[in-house]
Amino acid sequence: MKSYKNEVLKKKDEMVKDLQAWIAQKGVYDPNTIKDGAPFGHDVANSLKWIEEKAKSDGFNVKNHEGYCIEITHGEGKECVMVLAHADVVPEGKGWTYPPYGGEVHNGLIYGRGASDDKGPALASYYALKILKEQNIKLKRQIKIVIGGNEESGSKCLKYYFKEKKHPAPTYGFTPDADFPLIYGEKGIMTYVYEGEFSDNLITSFEAGLAANAVPSECEMVLKRELHLQKAFTKWMQRHNFKGEYEEKEGKTYLKFHGKASHGAFPEGGINAFTMLLYWVGKYT
């Protein structure tokens, strides 16, 4: 085989264009557009469809598993190497310097939701296999790339693939969903859902966060009465270098805190707007 690195570099411009095209497919879970063939909604279905059509056009054996995941297969053998990636992304939120679905290139970096989690790494793995295929490299094992549509919201895609469809576990496998070149361990995660009646003599409602695995960057709260604490609010925000809004109208107080978003794996890199707002309300009311 020719130098593999040289073959990769030849594909650079093509891969960048493909990644930009894939980033343009929003890929956010939307329960309001769920239907047969789109179990995670319209946007995720389109994101999966993009990589499905790309792989078909490159001559791969491709199967769409009812909109849960896309399976791309190459080679034969008793043993299987599986690459597990995903085409869904968390909601884009606010505060982007560049359009979240624009895939714009600035200073050698591609900006967009999914550029690093996980469309960029998934496409890199795909191109690695594509080059092997184009160079007619005979493989000792079958290779499968399985791209799911629900990693950010519970991985129902892989549960469907392995448990419902009864596909066997691979002999070897990895997921290109972290820092390059390799991560060999991962923290656990647990998501809680609390349900029940809520009664409070102060709080009418509050809303924060876009995904369970991200630090909420904004929080809004409505209180049942006017607090007359505008000066205290402004002073506290300035002291701690936070941003927020305070408004009183029609007998209620409306509060909004702006924090800093961060992936749930690195909460120390964010500022949790929800906990900050709760702290302020507890301290001053």
CATH number for the domain spanning 99: value is: 3.40.630.10
Same domain as 139, residue 52: yes
- What are the residue numbers of the active site? 88, 151
**What residue ranges in the chain does DSSP mark as E strands?**
61-64, 69-74, 80-86, 104-106, 109-111, 142-148, 172-174, 203-208, 214-215, 218-223, 243-249, 252-258, 262-263
Same domain as 137, residue 8: yes
For the chain, how many helices (H) and strands (E)?
7, 13
Q: Given this model, what pLDDT does residue 1 score?
A: 56
Whether the model pTM is above 0.85: no
Domain membership of residue 182 (yes or no) is no
Same domain as 168, residue 96: yes
Domain membership of residue 191 (yes or no) is no
Same domain as 217, residue 88: no
Same domain as 111, residue 153: yes
Domain membership of residue 90 (yes or no) is yes
Cβ atoms of residues 147 and 72 within 8 Å:
yes
Same domain as 221, residue 109: no
Domain final residue, candidates 174, 189, 222: 174
The domain of 152 spans 4-174
Cβ atoms of residues 276 and 233 within 8 Å:
no
Domain membership of residue 20 (yes or no) is yes
CATH number at residue 226: 3.30.70.360
Same domain as 63, residue 13: yes
The Cα 198–Cα 210 span in angstroms is 21
Q: Given this model, what pLDDT does residue 198 score?
A: 75
Domain final residue, candidates 153, 174, 195: 174
Q: Given this model, what pLDDT does residue 192 score?
A: 81
- Report which residue type is found at 265: A
**222: closest CA among 158, 277, 181?**
277
Domain membership of residue 195 (yes or no) is no
Domain final residue, candidates 174, 190, 216: 174
* Average pLDDT per 10 consecutive residues for the chain, totaling 285 residues: 84 97 97 97 98 98 98 96 96 90 96 95 96 93 98 94 96 87 72 82 90 90 95 94 94 95 88 94 91
All residues at 6 or more sequence positions from 42 whose CB lies less than 8 Å from its CB, including other chains: 30, 33
Same domain as 165, residue 271: no
Cβ atoms of residues 148 and 155 within 8 Å:
yes
Report the b/e string of 47-58 with b at 16+ CB within 10 A. Answer: bbbbbbebbeeb
- Report which residue type is found at 5: K
Total structural domains within the chain:
2
Same domain as 68, residue 109: yes
Cβ atoms of residues 217 and 91 within 8 Å:
no
Same domain as 213, residue 158: no
- CA 79 and chain centroid, separation: 31
Cβ atoms of residues 85 and 118 within 8 Å:
yes
Same domain as 158, residue 76: yes
Rounded to 5 degrees, φ, ψ at 100 are: -65, -20
Domain membership of residue 188 (yes or no) is no
Domain membership of residue 198 (yes or no) is no
Domain membership of residue 35 (yes or no) is yes
Same domain as 138, residue 32: yes
